[in-house]
Structure 1
């Protein structure tokens, strides 16, 4: 029955009250006062509207005499003179009730001013507008989710047992100075969600004693709060939308109330109780002038004065809020300044929306932000993780992280943990172990349980090993990836892995003075066959030369600095693959011709302008792959025909304007990539490449494809997008193995129906615009879809 009558139930009222109280921590005192003022303003305006609806009317009586000029605006008792008609004195009006009602309605709309009839409605609308705008930032989609998330985390931090115990311990500490984090070395690390909170030296030097050990559930809740705050911080510090919306809402409210105050003040004294009305109906009633009274004039004027007082107070509160917003740096929050002597260590400053929300919380109660700071402290987090690591990372949980990599091997990746969980050593199926940003990682002797482990990744993780673990890794580890910042991060035990076959090093291999290489000797890597160095080398390290005779693949990726002294490459008599990237090479090194066993040469991303030295490469009989991408080569010399065993040629992102006829004498060529050059045409000689399987000419200026191209019946991949093609030859149907065809961003108007004969294209290998595909018959489209 209550629902049918449109009434609000008690449960609905409670839920509405709860929804308002949950935002109280983000409501400073001025917002609270302004909300109370809005409630009173709403009551005043609603009362005024109710009076208008129920009681608003005028009462009119006929005047038997003609008033003077001033009587139209003044009541008869205000000293206005008029001439009475003696014959009408005491004469009955002879008017019916309906006539009085009619005159009253007419005179109400004709003589009563607009403010008497509509001001209460305007006041109600203005109040509702202010009411909506006052909590707009709690409802706006881009801010409400962030505010709700922040408040939920804040409440959990306030009630967490870990917060209470951490604050108790820091309060009971006898040292007056707070515990401070001291980063190792002289480098300072700025906060980011991916940056480890503590390194090994920091963990060993900082202790935050916890007298009472938390139970498992409390530990899990505290750890979850740390992670939630980390993610929330990374999102909240990306933008200042909450600050801008609150600022905009405050400015809007101030401007609105100033306008309201302006027009309402002008209405003071304009309400009138007496009105003279001339409805122009003398022929029907015998009277031309009526004297009317508006029964709500007095009360409306008092309500107007009350409303003006309330709006004035609201304006003062809004001005103060705006002054507070503009006078303080609210986009930066420092815990050191706001909570001196917290004992939780140096908590980095927070910025943007995160900082603004903390400032708003401080206006309510600084205790909230103080308890919140426990979960922003690296010291507090490190201690909790130290206590909960092994309990949290159980074998079942770690097993959920094990997955298959691209080669089908079982892989486990651990990132940003204080240490390696002991349960890792129970996952004996692991073949690849990746450790990232684990500052105090140490491999224990139990690693020998991982009998299938053959590949290890260390990313900014200077892992230590005990003797038993070293003995196991020395005998079993085959592949090692190490990513580091300085040479000091390189674990010394990696130089003694005699079974290691592949070593990938990425980091700064030069010392601080940039003059000498401090890599230790590679003599102990007796099985090393593949070596990759990603660094800023100016010459080959001497350690590389120690294993030159046993390497089959060398990959050097520089940071753009020039790599000199390539003459040492001649010592690599068994080298089969050579990659030199970003090494500022201006021509094909002559020493390459000494590498008679070379099969693949990759000089991508260098400064090569001409390749006249190609003829010298004919000495390398087994050369089958040549990569010269991302250079500035303008032409291929005719001598390229001397590379008769070449099977793969990659020349993308150069400045080629034409393809020489000699190129098409390489009958063994299977893959040709000349994308993103300035080529205007594909010569008909391409038809001689009978073994061609892939042709990539994307991003050139080709206007047509030669029909001879489609004699290459082994062609599987043809990419010709971003050219000037106007048509596709019907001979494309002669390619039975074609499985990938890209023709986007051309000038094609139609596609040949012969595409339907390319059966492998039916698996989604055709990439063209949708409107171009619609030019094909429906049966052909259905085959290709």
Structure 2
């Protein structure tokens, strides 16, 4: 706008109205350039899914370079998959999808994580694999409910420290990047249970991992780690993968841990043999115990039932010679045994 036009606009002249129209047109054009989204025609089955207004929508493998605007009006969506397209950004109206819990943006062309995604505070799962990401924005810390984050197949050279501020993150995928080390205070992520670091550039085992007692899954496949420390002090660990590293000896781990890497098969065979020996030993012990119980039961049956006395030991009557403690007294029979006849006289 020239100086004369600015002056007329300030004075409220006719040129001011024209100037305002020019400014509005420029703003609208800029907005269209910033958000070139349109309602393109979608395949019939996809159109049916959009019209059904269900809580889940899949728009994968459609070659989308822009997101159709009407998708942002589907406020009932809880799961949205936009994987395997050509998306580079998302419209600001995307923030209307407040109920989203699962969002798939993997296999696209994002150079940065769209800031509008960081406004979806109910997200629990966010997939951004195989894009062109180098960093994460500070705004990502808004996603306090995020539990699962996939950032594998990007261009990260360092561990994104901002992820340590996500209080509920339990599963983190950072494989196939260019990371060489980890923060020394990573062990503070006590909620982290699964960590995938395969296909990076680690030349030694990160010491901080030996302090992460809550880790259940650790994947360090395809790195350059020559040796591994003992991990038998990690109580929660259940799977440790270190395949395709220059490692010759597997680490010591608890018996419950599954190992994937050099020497793991031999260790697994040794464990199975040990378990088989323990099983056979337990079966033999159970058989001996059962045999002893059977012999004891047979002995009791042959001896016959015994009558238990309710008298104290000092009150028990003295046993007459020649009588059995288990036999009840019988005057007639006892008399005959002692040579006394039925009439009370002595005789045979």
Q: Check if 1:721 corresponds to 2:221.
A: yes
| Deviation of the 1:601 alpha carbon | 0.8
Q: Check if 1:734 corresponds to 2:233.
A: yes
- The equivalences for 1:65-80 within 5 A come to none
Give the unaligned 5+ runs of structure 2: 1-39, 277-348
Change (3 A) 1:659 1:588: farther
Q: Tell whether the 8 Å contact from 1:588 to 1:608 is kept in structure 2 after alignment.
A: no
| Deviation of the 1:606 alpha carbon | 0.8
| Matched residue, 1:51 | none
**Deviations for 1:554-599, whole angstroms, at most 9, x for unmatched residues?**
111124x234353212221111111002221012443332111110
Aligned to 2:232, the other structure's residue is in SS state: helix
Q: Check if 1:705 corresponds to 2:205.
A: yes
In the alignment, the residues of structure 1 paired with residue 271 and residue 41 of structure 2 have an alpha-carbon distance, to the nearest angstrom, of 66
Q: Check if 1:601 corresponds to 2:79.
A: no
Q: Check if 1:553 corresponds to 2:56.
A: yes
In the alignment, the residues of structure 1 paired with residue 67 and residue 160 of structure 2 have an alpha-carbon distance, to the nearest angstrom, of 33
Q: TM-score, normalised by structure 1?
A: 0.28
Q: Check if 1:746 corresponds to 2:245.
A: yes
| Deviation of the 1:622 alpha carbon | 1.3
Aligned to 2:82, the other structure's residue is in SS state: strand
In the alignment, the residues of structure 2 paired with residue 748 and residue 518 of structure 1 have an alpha-carbon distance, to the nearest angstrom, of 50
Q: Tell whether the 8 Å contact from 2:247 to 2:262 is kept in structure 1 after alignment.
A: no
In the alignment, the residues of structure 2 paired with residue 784 and residue 620 of structure 1 have an alpha-carbon distance, to the nearest angstrom, of 50
- The equivalences for 1:55-66 within 5 A come to none
Change (3 A) 1:517 1:741: closer
Q: Check if 1:572 corresponds to 2:87.
A: no
Q: Check if 1:665 corresponds to 2:165.
A: yes
Question: RMSD of aligned C-alpha atoms?
Answer: 3.0
Q: Check if 1:590 corresponds to 2:95.
A: no
| Deviation of the 1:783 alpha carbon | 6.1
Change (3 A) 1:747 1:619: same
In the alignment, the residues of structure 2 paired with residue 633 and residue 784 of structure 1 have an alpha-carbon distance, to the nearest angstrom, of 47
| Matched residue, 2:191 | 691
| Deviation of the 1:769 alpha carbon | 1.5
Q: Tell whether the 8 Å contact from 2:82 to 2:104 is kept in structure 1 after alignment.
A: yes
In the alignment, the residues of structure 2 paired with residue 518 and residue 643 of structure 1 have an alpha-carbon distance, to the nearest angstrom, of 33
| Deviation of the 1:779 alpha carbon | 7.0
| Deviation of the 1:544 alpha carbon | 4.9
In the alignment, the residues of structure 1 paired with residue 43 and residue 246 of structure 2 have an alpha-carbon distance, to the nearest angstrom, of 57
Give the unaligned 5+ runs of structure 1: 1-514, 520-531, 534-540
Aligned to 1:759, the other structure's residue is in SS state: coil
In the alignment, the residues of structure 1 paired with residue 275 and residue 163 of structure 2 have an alpha-carbon distance, to the nearest angstrom, of 34
Aligned to 2:130, the other structure's residue is in SS state: coil
Q: Tell whether the 8 Å contact from 2:118 to 2:142 is kept in structure 1 after alignment.
A: yes
Q: Check if 1:769 corresponds to 2:262.
A: yes
Q: Tell whether the 8 Å contact from 1:676 to 1:697 is kept in structure 2 after alignment.
A: yes
| Matched residue, 1:643 | 143
Compare the two structures and name the one with the higher helix fraction: 1
Q: Check if 1:760 corresponds to 2:265.
A: no
- The equivalences for 1:117-128 within 5 A come to none
| Deviation of the 1:663 alpha carbon | 1.1
In the alignment, the residues of structure 1 paired with residue 139 and residue 204 of structure 2 have an alpha-carbon distance, to the nearest angstrom, of 27
| Deviation of the 1:669 alpha carbon | 0.8
In the alignment, the residues of structure 2 paired with residue 555 and residue 751 of structure 1 have an alpha-carbon distance, to the nearest angstrom, of 43
In the alignment, the residues of structure 1 paired with residue 160 and residue 147 of structure 2 have an alpha-carbon distance, to the nearest angstrom, of 17
| Deviation of the 1:760 alpha carbon | 1.6
